[in-house]
Structure 1
Amino acid sequence: MRWSMRIVMMLAVSIVIVVCLSLLPKLDSSMGLSSPYHWPSNRIGQVTDNNLPDLLVQVPLQMRIRKVELTNARMSLDLSLPKNADSAAVYRDLYTIAQTMLMKTKNVNQVWVRVIDYSNASDSASTQLVLAMVAERESGKDMEKGANELSLIQLEQELQNRFRITYTSKWQQRYPL
């Protein structure tokens, strides 16, 4: 009888431990504790190397991200310009990146974006810079409207009035006035 009582006691203790461990993740989420490795979907957060991919996945872009670097309070992105991209898509992506990084993060104060044409590149030396933008937090703090709510002219004016944009001759060849 003693052995059967010990087995029942051990079984009961094991079940209690399993139930407590299964409730632990739910307890973290109900208390509002979030992992530093996941990006909060609707809140402002601190960007780190660990949660940067989670943030970038949420940014709706038409151009492909080729390179991302996060150093101190600056984020640098290289975007690949597709052959069939129009200027509205480029401006929309630039606006969306600036808006997301400056309004949804606590620690990114500058966003540097390079739009690069990789279409004729057989190696990395033959890539061509098309456009570069530097966006600072102070200039982008009241960007309430989404990129899809603005026309091409409004997007271009918003970006040029708020941030530093440098166009290359490749941009002018591809998108003449």
Structure 2
Amino acid sequence: MRIVITLGISVVVAISLSMLPKMDLSSGLGSDYTWSNNRGGQLTENNLADLLVQIPLQLRIRKVELSTSRLSLDLSLPKNAETIAVYRDLYTIAQTMLVNTKNVDQVWVRIIDYSGTVDTTSTQLVLAMVAQREFGKDMEKKPSELSLIQLEQELQNRFRITYTSKWQQKYPL
């Protein structure tokens, strides 16, 4: 009799444990930890990495900070980066964060030149952009559909971009 009771309790515990993951998914508890492709998702510390790996970027992400309504990114500028790659990355980041999230109202991006440096004290700021949700709502075109001039105009007309002398040195007009 004791063996039958022990076996019955073991079966009930096993079935209960196997149902726990399904209960988490159905109650929405698992949704904060992975990024879905739904428009207007809530970006959190838990799903930030999932979203960032989905963004096709040419430049390497060096640093990321997320506050309640602002995302800050530092991107590393390689020596051989082309202007169009920089603008495409800026456009893609702004578009993804402002259109596909519902809680990010500002995106701050810094392009930094880390070349030839051993420590971070000798890095140089090349370009900075502040993108606000109100100016990025209707960014429907894909960056690959836009030319270099169109990308530059879109970004300059919508957002605040600051060019440093390092940018002008590297990419003269």
**When the two structures are superposed, what TM-score results if normalisation uses the length of structure 2?**
0.90
Task: Tell me the CA shift for residue 31 of structure 1.
Answer: 5.5
Among 7, 14, 18, the alignment partner of 1:11 is 7
Match of 2:99 in 1: 103
Task: Provide the rounded CA distance (Å) in 2 between the counterparts of 1:57 and 1:92.
Answer: 16
Gaps in structure 1 of 5+ consecutive residues: none
Among 159, 162, 168, the alignment partner of 2:164 is 168
- Secondary structure of 2:53's counterpart equals helix
Task: Provide the rounded CA distance (Å) in 2 between the counterparts of 1:125 and 1:28.
Answer: 46
Name the CA shift for 1:43/1:28 in 2 (closer, same or farther; >3 Å). farther
Q: Does 1:84 align with 2:80?
A: yes
Residue pair 2:39, 2:99 contacting (<8 A) in 1 also: no
Cα shift readout 1:8-45 (whole Å, capped 9, x = no counterpart): 23212311321232132134335555342322233422
Match of 1:72 in 2: 68
Alignment of 1:1-177 (within 5 A): 5-30=1-26, 33-177=29-173
Task: Provide the rounded CA distance (Å) in 1 between the counterparts of 2:118 and 2:21.
Answer: 49
Amino acid at match of 1:166: T
Cα shift readout 1:26-77 (whole Å, capped 9, x = no counterpart): 3433555534232223342222223222221222211111111122311111
Residue pair 2:40, 2:101 contacting (<8 A) in 1 also: yes
**When the two structures are superposed, what TM-score results if normalisation uses the length of structure 1?**
0.88
Task: Tell me the CA shift for residue 153 of structure 1.
Answer: 1.8
Task: Provide the rounded CA distance (Å) in 2 between the counterparts of 1:16 and 1:144.
Answer: 52
Amino acid at match of 2:9: V
* Identical residues among aligned pairs (%): 73
Higher Rg:
1
- Give the number of aligned pairs: 173
TM-align CA RMSD: 1.8
